[in-house]
Amino acid sequence: MMDQKRLIYPHRSYKKVNANKYVILKEILVLFFFWLVFTVFVDVFVKGLIQISQEVLDKVYSLEKSSIAHHKLLFWDVYYIVDFGKYPSSEVSLILIFLSFLGMIIFLKFPFIRGVSIFFSFVCFILFVSSLYFFFLPEKFPYSLASFSKIYVDTLLLSWINTGLLAILSVVFFPIKTVLKLSFLIAMYIVLFVIGVVKYVFVIITIKEYSHLFTPLMFFVFGPVIDFLFFLFLYGMFVNKVLNPTRKDIDNWRWVD
C-alpha cells in the first residue's frame, strides 16, 4: 500500500501558464490577422525602404544618380535599386585570398568567446571562397549589382514575412495582454525597417565602392542573418521588460493540474 504525500508545494518543476485555450486561439487569430495584413502590403513597405535608401545614396553620390526598377515576386510588386559595381583586380583578389585564409585560421584558433570567433572564421571562409572565385573566374561571376540588388530585396521581403511568423510563434503562449504582443510585432517591424535601410545602403555602397568580391559576404552575412540577430536582441529585451513584472502575479501561473 502506498501513501500519498499530503501536500505538494508549488515549485517551478510543474509550473505552467494559466491560460484559457480559447483566449490563446483568439490571440493567435488576432496576431495572424495582423501578420496577414502586413504580408499583403509588405511590398509597400519595401518600396518605402527603397525610396529612402535611394535618397541616402543620392546624397552620398550626388553626381551619379541611381535608378529604381521593379519586378513581380509571387503577387508582390517589388522595387529595387539599379546601379553598377566594381570588379576587383587580380592583385586585390590575391591579397584577399591570403588575408581571409589567415583570418579563417586565426579566428578558428582564437581562445576567447569561441562562438563569436568561429562566426568570424565563417565570415573569412565566405570571403576566401569569393576571393578564389574572382582570382580564377572573374568573368563567370553570375551577378551584376542590379541583379544582386533584386535578389537581396526579395530575400529581405521574405525574411520580414518569416520573421513575423516566427515572432508570433515566440510570444503567443506568454501570459501577457494581446496588445503587448502586437506591440512587439510592430516594434520589431519598425526596427527591421530601419535596419533594412542601413543594410541595403551598406550593401550597395560596398559593392559599388569595393567590388563584387564582397557580394557573397553581403548575402550570407549581411542578409537575413543580421535581421535574425536583431530579432533575437529585441525578443530578449521584450521578454526581460514585459515578462519580468508578470513573475509575481500568481494568477498568471498554475502548478499542478
Partner 1 sequence: MILALKFYMFFCIVLFGIYIVRHFVFTGNRLLGKQKISYGDILTSELPTVSVLVPMHNEEKVAEKLLNRLVKVNYPKDKYEIVVINDHSTDKTGEIIETFKKENPEISIKVMHRTTGNRGKPVALNDGLKIASGEIVVVFDADYLPSKDLIRNLVVNFKNPKVGAVMGRVIPVNSGKNILTKLLELERIGGYQVDQQARYNLHLIPQYGGTVGGFRKNLVVKTGGFKENILAEDTELTFRLYVNGYEVVYSNRAECYEESPEDWSVRGRQIRRWSTGHNQVMFSYIFKLLTSKHLSFFQKVDGILLLMVYLVPVFLFLGILDAVALFFLGEANILTYSYFWVISMMIGTFGNFAPFYQVVAGAILDDSPAKAKLLPLLFFNFFFNTFYILLGFKDALIGLVKKHYPIWDKTQRYGDT
List residues near partner 1 by CB under 8 A: 2-5, 8, 11-17, 19, 21, 24, 108, 111-116, 118-119, 121-122, 126, 129, 133, 141-143, 148, 151, 154-155, 158-159, 162-163, 166, 169-170, 173-174, 216, 219-220, 223-225, 227-229, 232-233, 235-237, 239-240, 243-244, 247, 256-257
- Between 37 and 236, name the residue whose CB sits nearer to partner 1: 236
- Between 78 and 201, name the residue whose CB sits nearer to partner 1: 78
Contact 61, 212 (CB under 8 A): no
Go through the chain and tell me how many residues it has. Answer: 257
- Between 14 and 210, name the residue whose CB sits nearer to partner 1: 14
Q: How far is the CB of 51 from partner 1 (least distance, A)?
A: 22
Phi, psi at residue 115, to the nearest 5°?
Answer: -60, -45
Q: How far is the CB of 122 from partner 1 (least distance, A)?
A: 6
Q: How far is the CB of 98 from partner 1 (least distance, A)?
A: 20
- Between 62 and 75, name the residue whose CB sits nearer to partner 1: 75
Give residues with Cβ within 8 angstroms of 207, minimum separation 6: 85, 86, 145, 148, 214, 215, 218
- Between 65 and 241, name the residue whose CB sits nearer to partner 1: 241
Q: How far is the CB of 189 from partner 1 (least distance, A)?
A: 15
DSSP string covering 33-67: HHHHHHHHTHHHHHHHHHHHHHHHHHHHSSSS--E
Torsion, Cα of 222, 228, 230, 234 (10° steps): 170
Q: How far is the CB of 235 from partner 1 (least distance, A)?
A: 6
Q: Of 94, 51, 72, nearest to 201 (Cα)?
A: 51
3-class DSSP state of 144: coil
- Between 62 and 115, name the residue whose CB sits nearer to partner 1: 115
Strands 16-17 and 67-73, bridge-based pairing: unpaired
